[in-house]
Structure 1
Amino acid sequence: MKYKLHPALDYKFYLVGQEKTPLLVIDNFLSDAESLIDFCIKNTSFNRVDNFYPGLRMAAPRDYLYAINHYLAELLENIFDLTPDKIAGCKSLYSMVMTPPDKLDPPQCLPHIDSYLSGDLACVHYLCGKEKGGTSLYRHRKTGYEKITSETIDHYKHSVVNEGALEFEKKAYMNGSNNYFEQIASVDAMFNRMIIYPSNILHSGNIAPDFNFSTDPLNGRLTLNSFIYSKR
């Protein structure tokens, strides 16, 4: 396999919030992680692949997907009860936050979910340093929801609208608790750190007010975002 595990790999996992949701933090994930930045620079083909992500994305190397499935299988089973036979597929994308706060759509100013289907997982592999901002998980104060499911998504959306959470004097990225959302966990970015959590927990990147929206993979908030889909 092209990508090897880092010899100093270390991991911890936590049960966060009132719902005791697993959060896995892996440090020193892959050996020669710098090669992932090199691939990005040499094969730059960033584009807007969806209307929600506030930046640009491009496909990761196919071997990277193999590495996730191969090296993380035991952890995914032990921590998230996601065995290989339950995995329907996955995708990995380089991601760079690029949208200035005043250009955000209102929903982009709130924590979000990647999927409301239980069993799906989201992974963030940081190819940048702490100064670019990590990731936080949240609870919606009014409903108490931390994870959003197919049964609760309509109630959650109506609550957010009715309480005025989408009305702003000045738009900004989510970065810490506010009147509507409580931060229940936060993990700093660190080069070659990966975090994994259920896709349906409310979360947001920690994008500070003075964030530098660089288009350079060497200087921007470069991450590899992977999504692992479970069978229904």
Structure 2
Amino acid sequence: MSSMHELTPELSASPTARIECRYIGVEQYPLLIVDDFLNSPEWLVEQASQADFAPNQGLFPGHRAAAPSAYTDALERALPPLLADVFGTRPGDINRVESSFSLVTQAPESLKPLQRIPHFDSRNPRELASIYFLCNRLDARYGGTGFYRHRRTGFESVTDDRFNPYVAALEQDAQQTGLPAADYIRSDTAAFEKIAEVSARYNRLVIYPCTVLHSGIIDASFDFSRTPAQARLSINSFLVNH
């Protein structure tokens, strides 16, 4: 019988990978997009089909499972030169990578108020987040990721010094216009303006600062499947600096 090591491919960046860097909004923060990122994405889809998904305990609206260490290893081998060029990181800056398979499974009517607006992953501008799409090719149902500006403050990202003013402004928004409707944000609203969008595409990696306001674009026709091969499957990672 073959060992698990023998069954695990050597995941690596594909020689046909295509790299694009955008600078977003008034703040001109970098957004890195790598298409055809890995050489064996189908192996990761197979691993997801065997993974033990559980409801997320935080604000992510769905189920998560641990991603294979082979994926984290591939990130750590492939990304340092790109991150240095785009985000100005130095060797050793990224000293921990946390990755999870993710499936959006939560129905709109069950969303908490904070799940109905864009979010940020960390207030530390040195930390980076990524989403690696493994959902079925160019199926428009899987949306992508939208990036936003908060109208009242003009903030496109939230750092420590902006946190309290941002929270106060959100409370003002709620007082003036009420809580956002029980739905996923996917376009402009009274409180937020969408400033950029990246479509979900099979084998596409997207990297951005953890501080930026963003949200998954979940269309009204979304079916919230929990079957990885048919679902909005992605791997979400946090690249942590200390």
Q: Which residue of 2 aligns with 1:158?
A: 168
Structure 1 position 210, deviation (Å): 1.5
Is the 8 Å Cα contact of residues 56 and 62 (structure 2) preserved in structure 1? no
* CA deviation after TM superposition for structure 1 residue 177, in Å: 1.2
1:12 correspondence with 2:20: yes
* AA matched with 1:205: G
Is residue 192 of structure 2 the alignment partner of residue 181 of structure 1? Answer: yes
Three-state SS of the structure 1 residue aligned to 2:228 is coil
Amino acid at match of 1:47: A
| Corresponding position of 1:141 | 151
- Is residue 194 from structure 1 mapped to residue 174 from structure 2 by the alignment? no
Out of 25, 49, 60, the position equivalent to 1:53 is: 60
Corresponding residue for residue 109 of structure 1: 116
What percent of counterpart residues are identical?
A: 34
Structure 1 residue ranges (4+ consecutive) displaced by more than 2 angstroms after TM superposition: 48-51
Number of the residue aligned with 2:90: 83
Alignment partners' CA distance in 2, 1:49 and 1:117:
23
Tell me the C-alpha RMSD between the 2 structures: 1.3
Shift of 1:78: 0.7
Do structure 1's residue 167 and structure 2's residue 185 form an aligned pair?
no
Measure the CA separation in 2 of the matches of 1:149 and 1:15: 18
Amino acid of the structure 2 residue aligned with 1:157: V
The letter of the residue matching 2:221 is D
Q: State the one-letter code of the partner of 1:220.
A: A
Residue of structure 2 in register with 1:29 after alignment: 37
Aligned-partner Cα distance in 2 for 1:192–1:41: 17
- Equivalent-residue separation in structure 2 for 1:75 and 1:211 (angstroms): 33
Shift of 1:51: 2.2
CA contact 1:160–1:166 (8 Å) conserved in 2 = no
Aligned residue identity for 1:17:
G
Number of matched residues? 229
- Are 1:126 and 2:133 matched, yes or no? yes
Matching residue of 1:217: 228
Deviation of 1:144 (Å): 0.4
Could you tell me the TM-score, scaled by structure 1's length? Answer: 0.95
Structure 1 position 166, deviation (Å): 6.0
Quote the Cα distance in structure 2 between the aligned partners of 1:71 and 1:22. 18
- 1:50 Cα deviation from its structure 2 partner: 2.7
Partner of residue 40 from structure 1, selected from 36, 44, 48: 48
Moved more, 32-41 or 78-87: 78-87
Q: What letter matches 2:61 in structure 1?
A: P
Q: 2:6 is matched with which residue?
A: none
For residue 83 of structure 1, report the CA deviation from its aligned partner: 1.9
State how far apart, in whole Å, the 2-side matches of 1:22 and 1:215 are.
Answer: 32
Q: Which moved more, 1:212-221 or 1:3-12?
A: 3-12
- TM-score w.r.t. length of structure 2: 0.91
Structure richer in helix, relative to its length: 2
Map of 2:237 onto structure 1: 226
1:97 alignment counterpart: 104
Structure 1, unmatched stretches of 5+, are none
User: Structure 2: how far apart are the matches of 1:141 and 1:175?
Assistant: 16
Gaps of 5+ in 2: 1-8
Whether the aligned pair in 2 keeps the contact of 1:107 and 1:166 (CA below 8 Å) is no
- Write the mapping of 1:67-82 to structure 2, written as runs, cut at 5 A: 67-82=74-89
Match 1:3 to one of 7, 11, 14: 11
